Amino acid sequence: MIDNNRLRIAVQKSGRLCEGSMELLKAIGVKLSIRDRLLIAHSTNLPVDLLRVRDDDIPGLVMDGVVDLGFIGENELEEKMLERKAADKQHQYDVLERLDFGGCRLSIAVPNEMQYQGMASLNGKKIATTYPYLLERYFREQKIDAKAVMLNGSVEVAPRAGLADAICDLVSTGATLEANGLEEKEVIFRSKAVLIQRRGEMPQPKQQLIDKLLTRINGVMQAKE
């Protein structure tokens, strides 16, 4: 059952943001009993419900006001914001805190054998990516006439498969790029996990709880510095 008096927080169910989000919730005293299959987890000590979803769904849940807070990577957040803005959907939110996990960069990488002499080498080319809005914004800023080809998976094999000339994908160590004969050339976006809040009216008790949790997050982050 959905209870509007409880604070609703969206987190990634499993994946790279999951551990950091759950550890932080634990560190700020939100006790949870998680049953693996379930979408919703209730806190046992605070009026907090956790919605465990795919990270792709989190920006929309917050922007539509379906949940109060969400833990999300800035890359996914910014991409979905641009997509929703283009579609004339609600795309507002507030960032409460930039967090110290989920760090990665969105980069353009080209096949080793490509003669790359800067961004101009990409003119007229097709670039495979899961982030077409971020990539096309970058092309516009750099005045490059290239095309983003949307792929939800296997982006790094697109050049070898003849689907694109280069790629734009998330990188942390670069090992995946290297394994696929690709070289990182341009960083177009640097990302970390953030905690975001929906816009709109918030009942006072809920806002007080958010403020309290935020104070604790700041404390936890300062203690780590």
**Residues found near ligand ATP in the complex (CB under 6 A):** 12, 15-17, 54-56, 73, 75-76, 102, 104, 170, 172, 191
The enclosing H or E element of 190 equals strand 182-191
* Residue 83 binds to Zn ion (criterion: CB under 5 A): no
Which 8-state DSSP code applies to residue 36? Answer: T
Q: How far is the CB of 181 from Zn ion (least distance, A)?
A: 25
CB 170 within 8 A of CB 64: no
Report the C-alpha gap between 218 and 99 in whole angstroms.
10
Does residue number 55 form part of the binding site for Zn ion (CB under 5 A)?
yes
Q: Name which of Zn ion, ligand ATP, none residue 129 binds, using a CB cut-off of 5 to 8 Å depending on partner kind.
A: none
Question: Contact region for Zn ion (CB under 5 A) — 29-37, 48-56, 82-90, 208-216?
Answer: 48-56
Binding partner selected for residue 75 from ligand ATP, Zn ion, none, CB under the kind-specific 5 to 8 Å limit: ligand ATP
Rounded Cα distance between 97 and 143, Å, is: 33
Least distance (Å) between residue 102 CB and ligand ATP: 5
What is the identity of the amino acid at 218?
A: N
Instruction: Kindly state the smallest distance separating residue 10's Cβ from ligand ATP, in Å.
Output: 11
Q: What is the DSSP letter of 56?
A: G
74 binding Zn ion? (CB under 5 A): no
CA distance 114 to 165: 9
Residue 8 CB, shortest distance to Zn ion, in Å, is: 20
Sole binder of Zn ion in the list 6, 16, 53, 56 (CB under 5 A) = 56
The runs of H, that is alpha helices, within 3-88 are 18-27, 58-63, 74-86
Name the minimum Å distance from CB 130 to Zn ion.
Answer: 8
The answer to whether the beta carbons of residues 92 and 64 sit under 8 Å apart is no
